Amino acid sequence: MSKTIHVSVAWPYANGDLHVGHLAGAYLPADIFARYHRLKGNRVLMVSGSDSHGTPISVEADKRGVTARSIFEHYHHRFLLTQQKIGISYDLFTHTDTVNHTRIAQDIFTLLLERGFLYKETQQLLYSQYEKRFLPDRYVEGECYICGYPDARGDQCDNCGNLLDATRLINPRSKSHPDERLIVRETEHYFLDLSIFTDRLLHYLDVHEPHWRPNVVRFSRNFVAEGLRGRPITRDIDWGIPVPLEGWDDKRLYVWFEAVMGYLTASIEWAKNTGQPEAWMDWWYNPEAEIYNFIGKDNIPFHTVIWPAELMGIDGIYNGNSPGLSLPYDVPANEFMNIEGRQFSKSRNWAIWLPDILERYQPDAVRYYIAATFPETHDSDFAWDGFFNRVNGELVATWGNLVNRMLSFAWKRFDGVVPVYDTLTEADKAIIARSEEGFEEVGALIEQVRLRDALAACMALAREANGYLDVRKPWSAIKEDPADAARSVYTILRVIDNLNLLFAPFLPFSAQQVHEYLGYDGALFGVQHIESFDEDGRAHEALTLDAAGAIGRWEKRKLHPGQPLREPAALFAKLEPEIVEQERAYLGAPRDEREVVE
């Protein structure tokens, strides 16, 4: 029976390029999962987008002396190109500065307010008369009121380690204008009253515990058990979504509050864009639908506690107040991927940027290494010698070589067609059966979001197939007993056909190539486009998926004897050992941001 699956992926801040951490934490696992379910024939909606708002974007804009909007538009465009290049197959990758997202975020605010889930509170915050704005704690320094250390940060003293209240600092000053004296000023903000949802959240966690990762459950339960405090959902800034209330023109919705709504708003936008405006409800008002949020570990409480609370608070929205709005079914949060043993750092350029490495390596090689080292159970490490070893030793040598050795053998010795055989031996039938079992075995692992194990299972099958060849030796048989060579070559091509589908969610580009080498026509997956959409005279760009022509299916293949093959070529480029040192030299060195080209 076909399932309905929503794949919601963390929204990247559009203040810098995507790096391998983004890919490892959320985007690649989401893509593999979505591709698998599409192959299974399940109804999949995969959405995400650029987070256009938030302090990180304003900070970057200040640094460069440009507007926040121009920063996010610049990186949004690069996100589209980069993700198209590495094949993250969103049905829609949009952003949060759309008319659609703004309208819905404001509707949600209004509904929560009407239902009594928000409250107003006066806060004391530091204000800069020079910059005419309230300063976030991290923008402030001053003398510590506990130990007297002169350069304490607004939130914490680096000398005595105590957490600080920024308004109590002695002689507080702005980091950007240290000579100016800051004043304390009162300001009003709305808070989301999370504690109202405590019991329902605990119940929600209980219900989902059996199929969640243990660390996600434990963390979330603890987060709730410690007591939920109200969280401010408005800010004194000018870049963001306006608060839909009279007299609140100077304030905006807090980014953490509105960005997660993107899962819903992008679904609604997708429905509208595709000319079926009600279709989003098949996921959001359907008790059978399963919503998966792919995120990094830093985001766990936002997705397992705060976002579900927001959803509980707006249940019935756009549905005539009839309840049943879907909550996340699973939040398979990944841990972090370090770089050569050290934590990612944008400021020190200790990072591996996707636009850069996609100029030098095949997308499937990058996808393979990252998927093989997914930080599913604990932090992992992107190491260039590891990349070199796994690509050459596993991807090229085991899978690539299996495909290459037998496709070129069949091409040369069987006149470019799938061999026509008389009968199959027990060994032949056994290896075909093994490859067919893979659909069940690998599929089950992917459904549990154990993607690293799933990929390892594919590779183990490729090893078995290589072992089979060593026993059957078609290169010897072709001389003494051509009929037997026809049996084993047919068998191995059929096994390759099966394994190719198993690898396809991980390696979609090379899977398409193998598909064509085997003589098939058509595309396994849909085609990704960058499209422009118009809303009330304002245009925005998005990444979309046209899956109409996709013919790939997650099922046993029946390769026809006599089917004409196409001339094969090596699937994967073998890496030179020099790349290890070359790539390491880029780490920590100044970086030029280059145009992303197709």
- Token pair 């300063």 in the structure block, residue: 135
Rounded to the nearest 10°, the torsion over CA 572, 471, 565, 362 is -10
Query: What does residue 493 show for φ and ψ, rounded to 5 degrees?
Result: -65, -35
* C-beta of 126 vs 524, nearer to RNA: 126
* C-beta of 317 vs 465, nearer to RNA: 465
Least Cβ distance, residue 106 to RNA (angstroms):
21
From 527, 526, 507, 519, select the one nearest 566 (Cα to Cα): 519
Least Cβ distance, residue 500 to RNA (angstroms):
14
* C-beta of 390 vs 515, nearer to RNA: 390
- Please name the amino acid found at residue 115: R
Q: Which residues pair with 430 in a beta bridge?
A: none
Least Cβ distance, residue 381 to RNA (angstroms):
5
* C-beta of 155 vs 278, nearer to RNA: 155
* C-beta of 551 vs 570, nearer to RNA: 570
From 212, 245, 261, select the one nearest 100 (Cα to Cα): 261
Contact 545, 526 (CB under 8 A): yes
Least Cβ distance, residue 275 to RNA (angstroms):
33
* C-beta of 166 vs 317, nearer to RNA: 166
* C-beta of 380 vs 491, nearer to RNA: 380
* C-beta of 184 vs 551, nearer to RNA: 184
CA distance 254 to 76: 20
* Other Cβ atoms closer than 10 A to 591: 13
Q: Is 450 helix (H, G, I), strand (E, B) or coil?
A: coil
Q: Which residues pair with 286 in a beta bridge?
A: none
Least Cβ distance, residue 513 to RNA (angstroms):
10
**CB-neighbour burial class of residue 171 (10 A; exposed 0-12, middle 13-18, buried 19+):** exposed
Least Cβ distance, residue 348 to RNA (angstroms):
10
* Other Cβ atoms closer than 10 A to 210: 7
* C-beta of 141 vs 289, nearer to RNA: 141
* C-beta of 285 vs 503, nearer to RNA: 503
What one-character DSSP code corresponds to residue 256?
H
Cα-Cα-Cα-Cα dihedral sign, residues 376, 380, 384, 385: negative
* C-beta of 27 vs 90, nearer to RNA: 27
* C-beta of 263 vs 554, nearer to RNA: 263
Least Cβ distance, residue 215 to RNA (angstroms):
4
From 215, 190, 199, select the one nearest 312 (Cα to Cα): 199
- Token pair 């998966």 in the structure block, residue: 292
Contact 28, 371 (CB under 8 A): yes
CA distance 149 to 84: 50
* Spacing of C-alpha 346 from chain mean position: 19
CA distance 317 to 326: 11
Least Cβ distance, residue 44 to RNA (angstroms):
22
Least Cβ distance, residue 225 to RNA (angstroms):
8
Least Cβ distance, residue 227 to RNA (angstroms):
10
Least Cβ distance, residue 556 to RNA (angstroms):
23
* Other Cβ atoms closer than 10 A to 236: 18
CA distance 256 to 251: 15
Query: What does residue 232 show for φ and ψ, rounded to 5 degrees?
Result: -65, 135
Contact 518, 435 (CB under 8 A): no
Least Cβ distance, residue 179 to RNA (angstroms):
22
From 453, 525, 532, select the one nearest 31 (Cα to Cα): 525
